[in-house]
Structure 1
């Protein structure tokens, strides 16, 4: 087995294990055993952390990935890569810390005034931002040396497992909420320490400075790309966090906790997208270099179909059982029922658009893609301002839906205009119709909700019947020859 294949398999296993642990923690334990305000606090701390982590790197990590070949030299201690990265990190963290201090009151301000909890734990943003930013630096360094597994294990699995342990200490009343937040922050930070220990054992490790970078011819290109990546990357991060921040601003910490829990479903739906991106990136880049748009059309269409099949099936199963699912957590979260549906439909359109972000971002029209990102952020901001005050959580979800539809439609139009490729065919509509048809059948199934055991039985049997029926129809109609081939191979092994 090749190193790449082995690392890919191990990374995928740990990623999915992390998804299971994270989903159990975020979708069941936290909604049941923390108040909605406490849940909202964690959501706000994480949202600001993700935004500031990108700012703290000042684009060094993005440029470092692209230009690591210029540094890679074990004998010369990789030309001071880590030293340069740490200097940039320190500058970035100083800027972020000053910004948090100066703008604290504006950040914690909420129109409904319930900001006491957020104000009390506000400065936890600084240490978790610092540790995660350092982790990204160390992880990128390891990836540049062809070690991709350790970072996946630590960030995708261990970190989520440590957060689970922190939540359990609070559930069993071993610690109060104040100590729990400390343990939660420590759980986020520990992977950074372990990652640093790991990279010290990689060949060529050194924290000493080197004049190689400053004397090199590519430093101008490096800084230009780093500056550009700050803009596009930050916009991409803001896209995923802006609605959460605006829900807090307009509706308060409690509603933020409810909204963030419902957003988790959208994250689960994008698993197939992440897999497609990892599998397609190298092939698409090679095809772009060769101007082989027939190959790109094939990949575009296949990725769209595969992702839509996964997303439609998941949305169908969740929506049929939505009331049963919400019955497992506190009644307050039922306010987010239609948020889940609207976000699910938005993600469905996103999935149906295939790998459009990959095609446009790595083409010569990448600056247009960046401009598109900025217009998307502007539209999302405007729609949230208009819709949240009128429709609450559903307004935030509707703003996300409309913005995602605009964003993907514009991307797909540009790709069609410049490259004459698109992801759409009639089979995509048929997949959606199969999902809708089975959803209607699901409404006819009996529901047992007398106790937890009956609820679990309802979930199990309805998911088995509808999920099995969905897979059977998808297989028989041969919507995706690739998926059918996988099923055929599995059946051969079983028989």
Structure 2
């Protein structure tokens, strides 16, 4: 097995373990140990620091992956690539830091109702952003070196486990909240430290500057590509984090804590779509290379149908058992996010079902339109949050996400049809949606039992039996039939 296969397998395992750990951590562990406003503060600090670091990076994280092959030469320390990769973003960090410090009155004005909680940590964001920036650059360097599984483990598993430990220490009274926040920030410094030690261990910590680095690729080319990447990265970051920041600014940190917990509960829906996209990306790129639009259109339809089957099942499973899920948290105040969970899941379901359209665009000759779509989605998301959060609270933020996701996916689907005459929908999709509605209704009609756990088990059993049975009877999704046949041939008693 080659290095790419090994790294790919490790990354896949780490990704799913990390996703599951992150879900359990953020949806259950932290809400049990921290108050909503405390969770809201930590999420706000992280989101501000992440945006801060992204702007300061000047897109050089993407530059590191895209252009490193031109510099690769271990004997010469890769022509001084690492000092260049770190150096220009450090200049950017200095500029952004000056703007952040000068803009303190403006930022604090947005959170004036939470000044007592936010003010003590305003300057700590500088350190948090610095460590976030350093880690992201070192991560891109290691990915270019084909050592991506190490950083994936550090961030997706190591940091989350340590966060749980810190939360338990705080919950048991061994740390004050102030100490918890500082220790939480220190985790980002720890990530940088272990990454540097790993680079030293594998002999790739080349920090000596080399003038030859400017002769390998023109600086103008690197900066230009970085600018394009910055716009793309920032639009994606705004899409994923602006709702959290705006909830904190327009309501309070307690609402942010409730909202982010709801958002993480809804992320369970993302798991099958991420798995599907990992397969879809290289396949679509290969189809474009071969100009095989017929096979691409067939894959587009099959991926959409399979995504609908899996997405509807998970959405119903979560939605029907929200009482049980919030009961595990054990704090009634978090249950205020139940409607937000449903709206966010609807947005993720629509995005997941039609999500291959974005991959088709980004791998196509018209890939630059993907940036236009992302920027449009960012603008729509900000505007809808501004309009809907004041009258509707966190429900408005979730509704804004749903509407924005729906609008942009309609636009992307239309673009793929208009440009390449491909669309993913068929009568089978309507049949799957009808089956999902019937199965959901059957499970919803299950009476509530004295035990929430038994209610969850019974509803899940009815949902699974009805949904799976109808899919098999109607052959709405041939992949389900094939899976059932393989399972029977392997486990059926002869």
Regarding TM over 0.5, the answer is yes
Q: Whole-Å Cα distance in 2 between the matches of residues 488 and 206 of structure 1?
A: 54
Which moves more between the two structures, 467-476 or 378-387? 467-476
Q: Whole-Å Cα distance in 2 between the matches of residues 141 and 273 of structure 1?
A: 27
Contact between 2:196 and 2:205, CA under 8 Å: does it hold in 1?
Answer: no
How far does residue 220 in structure 1 lie from its aligned partner after superposition? Answer: 3.2
Show the counterpart of 2:447.
446
Q: Is 1:98 aligned to residue 98 of structure 2?
A: yes
Show the counterpart of 2:33.
33
How far does residue 484 in structure 1 lie from its aligned partner after superposition? Answer: 4.7
* Matching of residues 224-243 of structure 1 within 5 Å: 224-243=224-243
Deviations along 1:379-434, whole A, 9 cap, x unmatched?
22222222111111111111111111111111111111111122222222322222
Show the counterpart of 1:456.
453
Show the counterpart of 1:49.
49
Show the counterpart of 2:464.
467
Show the counterpart of 1:167.
167
Q: Which runs of 5+ in 1 are unaligned?
A: none
Q: Which runs of 5+ in 2 are unaligned?
A: none
Show the counterpart of 1:417.
418
Contact between 1:342 and 1:398, CA under 8 Å: does it hold in 2?
Answer: yes
Number of residues of Structure 1 aligned to a counterpart in Structure 2: 491
TM-score, scaled relative to structure 2? 0.93
Q: Whole-Å Cα distance in 1 between the matches of residues 423 and 82 of structure 2?
A: 41
Deviations along 1:97-119, whole A, 9 cap, x unmatched?
22321222322334771332122
How far does residue 167 in structure 1 lie from its aligned partner after superposition? Answer: 0.7
Give the aligned CA root-mean-square deviation in angstroms: 2.2
Show the counterpart of 1:120.
120
Contact between 2:244 and 2:260, CA under 8 Å: does it hold in 1?
Answer: yes
Deviations along 1:226-249, whole A, 9 cap, x unmatched?
111111210111111111111112
Q: Whole-Å Cα distance in 1 between the matches of residues 257 and 153 of structure 2?
A: 27
SS at 1:303's partner residue?
helix
How far does residue 320 in structure 1 lie from its aligned partner after superposition? Answer: 0.9
Show the counterpart of 2:338.
337
Which moves more between the two structures, 32-41 or 104-113? 104-113
Q: Whole-Å Cα distance in 1 between the matches of residues 476 and 79 of structure 2?
A: 51
TM-score, scaled relative to structure 1? 0.93
Q: Whole-Å Cα distance in 2 between the matches of residues 146 and 475 of structure 1?
A: 43
SS at 2:175's partner residue?
coil
Show the counterpart of 2:145.
145
How far does residue 223 in structure 1 lie from its aligned partner after superposition? Answer: 2.1
Distance verdict in 2 for CA 1:474–1:162, change over 3 Å: farther
* Matching of residues 240-319 of structure 1 within 5 Å: 240-319=240-319
Contact between 1:380 and 1:399, CA under 8 Å: does it hold in 2?
Answer: yes
How far does residue 209 in structure 1 lie from its aligned partner after superposition? Answer: 1.4
SS at 2:210's partner residue?
coil
* Matching of residues 140-219 of structure 1 within 5 Å: 140-202=140-202, 204-219=204-219
Which moves more between the two structures, 268-277 or 458-467? 458-467
SS at 1:238's partner residue?
helix
* Matching of residues 13-32 of structure 1 within 5 Å: 13-32=13-32
How far does residue 342 in structure 1 lie from its aligned partner after superposition? Answer: 0.8
How far does residue 477 in structure 1 lie from its aligned partner after superposition? Answer: 4.2
How far does residue 251 in structure 1 lie from its aligned partner after superposition? Answer: 0.9
Show the counterpart of 1:357.
358
Contact between 1:115 and 1:253, CA under 8 Å: does it hold in 2?
Answer: no
SS at 1:200's partner residue?
helix
Which moves more between the two structures, 170-179 or 121-130? 121-130
Distance verdict in 2 for CA 1:97–1:439, change over 3 Å: same
Distance verdict in 2 for CA 1:316–1:383, change over 3 Å: same
Contact between 2:37 and 2:257, CA under 8 Å: does it hold in 1?
Answer: yes
Q: Whole-Å Cα distance in 1 between the matches of residues 226 and 476 of structure 2?
A: 42
